Amino acid sequence: MRVLVHDYSGHPFQVELSRELARRGHEVTHSFCPAWPSGKGHLTAVEGETLSFDPVGPTEAIAKDRFVRRTLMDAAIGWQLLKQVRRTRADVALLSNAQIPSLVIFALGMMVLRKPWVLWHQDVYAVAVRSFAGDKLGRAFRLVAALFTVAERWTSRRAAAIVVIAPSFVDVHREWGTEHKTTVIPNWAPLDELVPTPRDNAWAQEHDLVGRHTLLYSGTLGLKHNPGLLVALARAVEDAGTPVRLVVVNEGPAVELLRAEAQRLGVDLLLLPFQPYERLSEVLGSGDVLLVLLEKQAGAFSVPSKTLSYLCAGRPVLGMMPAENLAAQLVDDADGLVVAPEADAVGEAAAWVSALLQDPERQDAIGRASRTLAEKEFALAGCADRFETILRGTRRGRV
C-alpha cells in the first residue's frame, strides 16, 4: 500500500507511525511543513530505511499573527499536498494538524482524484477559534470562527475515515454527522527516542543548570496558553524559599511577553529556541519539574503532546490545565499535580513544587511513575495496528 502521511507540525509520534508503517512493508512518504515553529521529530531518513520525506510550504518561519498571508499560504499547501498524492501515486493519505484552508483545497482535489483520505483530528479548530473569539478576538474573528466551523464540518464529511485523539471529540463529530466513521486513538510519544537521562547531563551542563533547581517548559505557546503563569509560578516558588531557574524552550510571540514579565517580577529566566530533536531527552531530563499549560477553553479540544513526551522523560509533571483534559488524567495517574490554569491556583502549585524540590527521593519516585505510565500507555505496535486497519479499510471502501 502506498501511503502519504502529512503532519503539518512535524511532531515526533506522527513520524514514528510513518516509520512503523514503512517497516511493515508499506511505501510511505512523510510530509511536513518545515516553517511551522514547533518542536520537530526525527525528519530525515536513516540508513537502510525505506521511508521518504517530502516537505511542503516555505522554509522560513511562519508569522502566526499575519492572518491573510497565512491563509493564502495554507491554501497553497493544500495544493502542494495534492501534487504529492499524484507524484507518489498514494493509495490513501493521512492528514494530521493540517490547517483549515489546506484541508478545504485538499478535500476538493481528492474528490476530483477519487482517492480516499483519513483525517487525523488533533484539534477541533472550529471549536477552538470560536471559544477564543468570544474572549480575546473581535467581530471579524467571530466571523472567521463561523466560517471555520462550516469548512471543518464539510472537510470532515469528505474524509473516508476520521481518527480523533480523545473521546470528547466524538461529541463534535456526532453533531456533524460523522460519528459513524470516527475512531478514538489517543496520542502517544516515542518511547525508544525519548528516554530518561541523568539530571546533570551534557545539555544541563552547557546551560548552567547543574546543581540548580529548574522548572522547564518545552513546546509551543499560543492562544491555548497563558505564558505569564509560568513566570508567576517561578516567582511564587522563590517566595516560598526555594530558589529556581525557569527554562522555556519556545519560539514565537510569547518570548517577549515572558522576558518582560520575568524582568518585572525578578525571575531567573532562560529562554531558548527549539532544540534539536536528538537532544530532547537531555533537555527534558534537565528539568526537576516539567510544566504544561492549557487554558480552560481548550479542555475538550486539545491534548498537549508535550505532556506525553514529559512522561517518557521520567520527570515529575505539573499541569496548569483543565482537569477534564485527557492529558490531565495522565499527569494525575503519574502522581503529578494538576491545577486550574488560573492565577488563583499558582499558590497551590508553588507549594507542591517547593516541597518536591526539597525531597529528592519523592522526585525520583514520581519520575519512575511517569516513565512506567508511558511504557504502559504508549506501545506503538497496537496504535500502528489500528491505523493500518483504518488505512486498508479506506482503500477498500470498507470504512
pLDDT number for residue 281:
97
The burial of 327, by beta-carbon neighbours within 10 Å (0-12 exposed, 13-18 middle, 19 or more buried), is given as buried
DSSP letter assigned to residue 159:
S
What pTM was computed for the model?
0.86
Residues in contact with 189: Cβ distance below 8 Å, sequence separation at least 6, in sequence order: 12, 13, 305, 308, 309, 311, 312, 374, 378
Q: Are 2-188+379-395 and 202-377 the same fold in CATH?
A: yes
- Asked if residue 234 lies in contact with residue 212, where contact means CB atoms within 8 angstroms, the answer is no
Read off the C-alpha cell for 75: 491554501
pLDDT number for residue 180:
96
Residue 140 has pLDDT above 70, yes or no: no
Confidence band (pLDDT; 50, 70, 90) for 151?
very high
Confidence band (pLDDT; 50, 70, 90) for 14?
very high
Read off the C-alpha cell for 276: 534539536
CA distance linking residue 223 with residue 237, whole number of Å:
25
157: part of which helix (H) or strand (E)? helix 139-158
Q: Give 66-104 pLDDT, tens digit per residue.
A: 767 888 899 999 999 999 999 999 999 999 999 999 999
Confidence band (pLDDT; 50, 70, 90) for 225?
confident
pLDDT number for residue 137:
52
**Mean pLDDT confidence for 2-17:** 95
- Asked if residue 70 lies in contact with residue 63, where contact means CB atoms within 8 angstroms, the answer is yes
CA 3 vs CA 18, 96, 179, 190, 213: distances in Å: 9, 13, 24, 21, 46
Q: At which residue does the C-alpha cell 489500528 appear? A: 386
Q: Give 186-224 pLDDT, tens digit per residue.
A: 999 999 999 999 999 999 999 999 999 999 999 888 655
Q: 202-377 falls under which CATH superfamily?
A: Glycogen Phosphorylase B; (3.40.50.2000)
Confidence band (pLDDT; 50, 70, 90) for 37?
confident
**Would you state the CATH architecture of domain 2-188+379-395?**
3-Layer(aba) Sandwich (3.40)
Residues in contact with 388: Cβ distance below 8 Å, sequence separation at least 6, in sequence order: 21, 24, 26
Domain boundaries, the chain: 2-188+379-395, 202-377
pLDDT number for residue 292:
94
Listed ranges 85-94, 145-154, 163-172; the one with the highest mean pLDDT: 85-94
